[in-house]
Structure 1
Amino acid sequence: MKKKKPNKLKILNDPIYGFIQIQNPLIFDIIEHPYFQRLRRITQMGFSNLVYPGANHTRFHHALGCTYLMEKAIRVLRFKGIQISENEEKALYIAILLHDIGHGAFSHALEHSIVSGISHEEISLKFMHQLNKEFKGALDLAISIFEGKYHRKFLYQLISSQLDIDRLDYLKRDSFYTGVTEGNISSDRLIVMMNVKNDELVIEQKGIYSVEKFLIARRLMYWQVYLHKTGIVAENMLVNVLKRAKELAEKGVELFGSAALKYFLYNQINQDNFTDQTLQMFAKLDDYDILSAIKEWTNHSDNILSLLSKMIVDRKLLRIEVQKDRFENIQVDKKKRKYAKKMNLSIDEMDYFVFSQKIQNQAYQTQKPIYILNKKGKLKDIAKASDQLNLQALTKPVVKYIICYPK
């Protein structure tokens, strides 16, 4: 009896866009690959669900949403006479599908604790090269576009720019799952207004107000969601838990953890020794490993590790203050001394519980402009083309300072 071939042209149901079609068998095979399936176990927004209970969506959702929007963008650009070959189309789908594949558990927390000196973009590229070997070179063009090495610049800008497909999906998706309506941009309208001029991805003049709304929505989402003070405290505490665990592991202290987590705790991992074996271990590490370890660490004999872990599990987070001026070292030291006595810890150990840092939000960066294409075919930076005074203000970074300490 002949073995039935699987149907690789599936249709998925997305709560935001409705039905998403998988464009070709290669895309299906990449989605089915364990590297990509891992994204189901990586939350898109880390600990933001401690603030917005609905924010439990994953990198998997986001990657599929991006692929859907990319399909729309290609259709619009072709309709406007921009030549995009079938190979370029397939490469764009692959590049946008895999743009976040190197994200670690809880997104950015690993980059600042147990894996050092290598960014998630670099790990994404390592995954792509590994997949390219498995798929016998089928990802060559996708990798070239992803790295910005392909000769058609606008294809790279669809993947990575200030108005790329990635941002068009995550702002709308994060707004939907958090319920923060200020972030609900019109990604459809922005895509319909896309065009290409001098190999630059541009927005036609009719879309100027949609771009303004997009930039303002981005600013509001950063302050209300991504830089929400409770989310910042939780993420810093997670980084500190992992740092403490790493410190204990280096001293040979026995710690509970999955094989993948232990590999990163008990080995010094950086860019120079990030081998294929490291990549395979990284592919097994996700949010579940971190959460199960933290739950177990609440009972650890190390006071700092157990206390931080309990605070995260029970959502008894540190207190946080935000202000425009930098917190002086003397203020931070004063808090450390005060709580060191109460908690029976040394001043050095208080670094885990009392810390200050800078947070920054810049909604629009003029060095990578969004160009508006006017009726005469001329290009103008949105910051100059817009009559919205706020946009000039959005080009300046807004800096605030936080201090965290026990309640």
Structure 2
Amino acid sequence: MAYSTQKLHEEKVFKDPVHRYIHVRDQVIWDLIGTKEFQRLRRIRQLGTTYLTFHGAEHSRFNHSLGVYEIIRRIVDDVFANRPEWNENERLLSLCAALLHDLGHGPFSHSFEKVFELDHEAFTQAIILGETEVNEVLSRVSPVFAQNVSDVIAKTYENKQVISLISSQIDADRMDYLQRDAYFTGVSYGHFDMERILRVLRPREDQVVIKSSGMHAVEDYIMSRYQMYWQVYFHPVTRSSEVILTKILHRAKELSEKNYTFAHEPYHFLSIFKGAVTVKDYLKLDESIILYYFQMWEDEEDPILRDLCRRFMNRNLFKYVEFDPSKEYKKLNELEKLFELAGLNPNYYLVVDSSSDLPYDFYRPGEEEERLPIHLMLPNGELKELSRQSDIVDAISGKRRTDHKLYYPKDYILDDSSHMEVKAKIKSILGLE
């Protein structure tokens, strides 16, 4: 029996709070789960610093990756099984790509990426194609299988059906994280009728479409996504913790570039600081390592690094006010000068943070972040873009919502033990009086 078709002697199951059970029948999937690169995802939270806002948000990329795999397994084994439009040869490829799609995420994910200008999808591909246990497992299937999985992640694989299952405006990735994140944060916004959506999915040419009878379930899904972004993912307290996290990493990098002598040398960061991180270096990074350094740096000589680390570790976060950078830039300039007079470095203690989301959009060639639309399949087989059929989706389609906040250390500003006159002006501008 070829390794690619080899089944386990007995089905393995993972108990899961979202999908009840995650079923593993293929030897390849079981072997991938056991690799050290995949096990590393247990040590990376799905929602970064959100646990400082919603205390239950401790779930990991490992949990989520298994969930995405299970949704794809249900689609290809149950929904698409025996359908002439579906290429059964792509089954294992879809399962592996689903399982491994987040393999390259770093600690605290997107915040970490922004500081060091990294791309988790590029690292996912590098891990899949590099000298790793994951690559060894994939290469047993066929000499080109690892490359095919990498191509799905890169969205360059020739069969667009497979790509759209894992990466589109209605895909297994989003369907899992919305429900999983809602469950672990304790909110109700992320719930939608996934069972109904799975029943009305249809493979069609180079994409997956939705039977028109399932339109209302898709509307519910899109509105759930919209609510989750603004109530959970863009929560202002979470953004405050991300601001501090980002500033800690920036400060450590700046000090390293200035040849500062750390009391606790950041060995795990050195190649990243130099912009020469290897896959091997990257795989050694997880959130336990980052938090270890933050705890050590609470006693650093540098006052900024020391203070920011203490704030993050003890959840003494920055406060915020609403801010419109297009209209209030003069106020920001004035605050920056006052902060310097008060002994606060504005680069680290006065931060404008912006969040933006586009809940749904149809295809607009040439624009940033081109998005393939969700298509409904009418009873006569004709395809219609979702917003042309749904008044609800049409109302929000193409409408980007952006929110700006100005973050600052309120406790320092309210401390009248020094720079009283300067702080009085800052209080007045920030509306703290």
When normalised by structure 1's length, the TM-score is 0.90
Contact 1:327/1:402 (<8 A) preserved: no
1:84-136: CA deviations, max 9, x gaps?
Answer: 32x411111111111111111011122122x32x3111111111112464233
Contact 2:127/2:135 (<8 A) preserved: no
- Kindly state the Cα deviation for residue 324 of structure 1 after the two structures are TM-superposed: 5.8
Instruction: Tell me the distance in 1 between the aligned counterparts of 2:127 and 2:29.
Output: 15
Contact 2:86/2:203 (<8 A) preserved: no
Q: How many residues align?
A: 386
- 1:187 is aligned to 2:194: yes
Identity score, percent: 30
Instruction: Tell me the distance in 2 between the aligned counterparts of 1:325 and 1:112.
Output: 21
- Kindly state the Cα deviation for residue 395 of structure 1 after the two structures are TM-superposed: 2.3
- Who is 1:3 aligned against? none
Q: Which secondary structure does the structure 1 equivalent of 2:109 belong to?
A: coil
Instruction: Tell me the distance in 1 between the aligned counterparts of 2:97 and 2:261.
Output: 40
- Kindly state the Cα deviation for residue 169 of structure 1 after the two structures are TM-superposed: 0.4
Instruction: Tell me the distance in 2 between the aligned counterparts of 1:234 and 1:29.
Output: 37
Instruction: Tell me the distance in 2 between the aligned counterparts of 1:311 and 1:393.
Output: 38
* Alpha-carbon spacing, 1:24–1:259, altered in 2? closer, same or farther (3 Å): farther
Instruction: Tell me the distance in 2 between the aligned counterparts of 1:257 and 1:168.
Output: 41
Instruction: Tell me the distance in 1 between the aligned counterparts of 2:70 and 2:261.
Output: 46
- Who is 1:211 aligned against? 218
- Where in structure 2 are there 5+ consecutive unaligned residues? 1-7, 364-371, 411-433
- Who is 1:21 aligned against? 23
Instruction: Tell me the distance in 2 between the aligned counterparts of 1:204 and 1:377.
Output: 9
- 1:362 is aligned to 2:383: no
Given residue 14 of structure 2, which amino acid in structure 1 is its aligned partner?
A: L
1:174-216: CA deviations, max 9, x gaps?
Answer: 0111111011122222111100223221000111001101111
Given residue 145 of structure 1, which amino acid in structure 2 is its aligned partner?
A: V
- Kindly state the Cα deviation for residue 356 of structure 1 after the two structures are TM-superposed: 1.4
- Who is 1:404 aligned against? 407
Q: Which secondary structure does the structure 2 equivalent of 1:149 belong to?
A: coil
- Who is 1:338 aligned against? 338
Given residue 208 of structure 1, which amino acid in structure 2 is its aligned partner?
A: M
Equivalences for 1:215-364 in 2 at 5 Å?
215-255=222-262, 256=264, 259-265=267-273, 268-269=274-275, 273-274=276-277, 278-323=278-323, 326=326, 328-342=328-342, 344-345=343-344, 349-364=345-360
Given residue 83 of structure 1, which amino acid in structure 2 is its aligned partner?
A: W
Instruction: Tell me the distance in 2 between the aligned counterparts of 1:356 and 1:146.
Output: 33
1:275-317: CA deviations, max 9, x gaps?
Answer: xxx1011101000111111111111110110111111112111
Q: CA RMSD in A?
A: 2.0
* Alpha-carbon spacing, 1:60–1:392, altered in 2? closer, same or farther (3 Å): same
Question: Which of 100, 103, 109 is the equivalent residue of 1:101?
Answer: 103
Q: Which secondary structure does the structure 1 equivalent of 2:101 belong to?
A: coil
Q: Which secondary structure does the structure 2 equivalent of 1:392 belong to?
A: helix
1:37-86: CA deviations, max 9, x gaps?
Answer: 1100000001111111101100000000001000111120225443332x
- 1:383 is aligned to 2:387: yes
Given residue 382 of structure 1, which amino acid in structure 2 is its aligned partner?
A: L
Instruction: Tell me the distance in 2 between the aligned counterparts of 1:404 and 1:394.
Output: 30
Task: Out of 90-99 and 196-205, give the one that drifted further.
Answer: 196-205
Instruction: Tell me the distance in 2 between the aligned counterparts of 1:298 and 1:336.
Output: 26
- Who is 1:52 aligned against? 54
Instruction: Tell me the distance in 1 between the aligned counterparts of 2:106 and 2:100.
Output: 14
Given residue 128 of structure 1, which amino acid in structure 2 is its aligned partner?
A: I
- Who is 1:77 aligned against? 80
Could you list the structure 1 runs, at least 4 aligned residues long, displaced by more than 4 angstroms after superposition: 6-9
Instruction: Tell me the distance in 2 between the aligned counterparts of 1:79 and 1:91.
Output: 17
- Who is 2:39 aligned against? 37
Given residue 68 of structure 1, which amino acid in structure 2 is its aligned partner?
A: E
Instruction: Tell me the distance in 1 between the aligned counterparts of 2:192 and 2:120.
Output: 26
- 1:161 is aligned to 2:183: no
Given residue 85 of structure 2, which amino acid in structure 1 is its aligned partner?
A: I
Instruction: Tell me the distance in 1 between the aligned counterparts of 2:22 and 2:346.
Output: 50
- Where in structure 1 are there 5+ consecutive unaligned residues? 1-5
Instruction: Tell me the distance in 1 between the aligned counterparts of 2:82 and 2:126.
Output: 35
- Kindly state the Cα deviation for residue 326 of structure 1 after the two structures are TM-superposed: 3.3
- Who is 2:378 aligned against? 374
Instruction: Tell me the distance in 2 between the aligned counterparts of 1:7 and 1:281.
Output: 37
Q: Which secondary structure does the structure 2 equivalent of 1:359 belong to?
A: strand
Contact 1:327/1:401 (<8 A) preserved: no
Given residue 242 of structure 1, which amino acid in structure 2 is its aligned partner?
A: L
Question: Which of 180, 183, 188 is the equivalent residue of 1:173?
Answer: 180
Given residue 356 of structure 2, which amino acid in structure 1 is its aligned partner?
A: Q
1:208-229: CA deviations, max 9, x gaps?
Answer: 0011011111111000011111
Instruction: Tell me the distance in 2 between the aligned counterparts of 1:324 and 1:337.
Output: 19
Given residue 106 of structure 2, which amino acid in structure 1 is its aligned partner?
A: G
Contact 1:336/1:354 (<8 A) preserved: yes
* Alpha-carbon spacing, 1:308–1:195, altered in 2? closer, same or farther (3 Å): same
Instruction: Tell me the distance in 1 between the aligned counterparts of 2:302 and 2:33.
Output: 41
Instruction: Tell me the distance in 2 between the aligned counterparts of 1:57 and 1:109.
Output: 17
- Kindly state the Cα deviation for residue 26 of structure 1 after the two structures are TM-superposed: 1.3
Contact 1:195/1:203 (<8 A) preserved: yes
Task: Out of 211-220 and 191-200, give the one that drifted further.
Answer: 191-200
Q: Which secondary structure does the structure 1 equivalent of 2:18 belong to?
A: coil
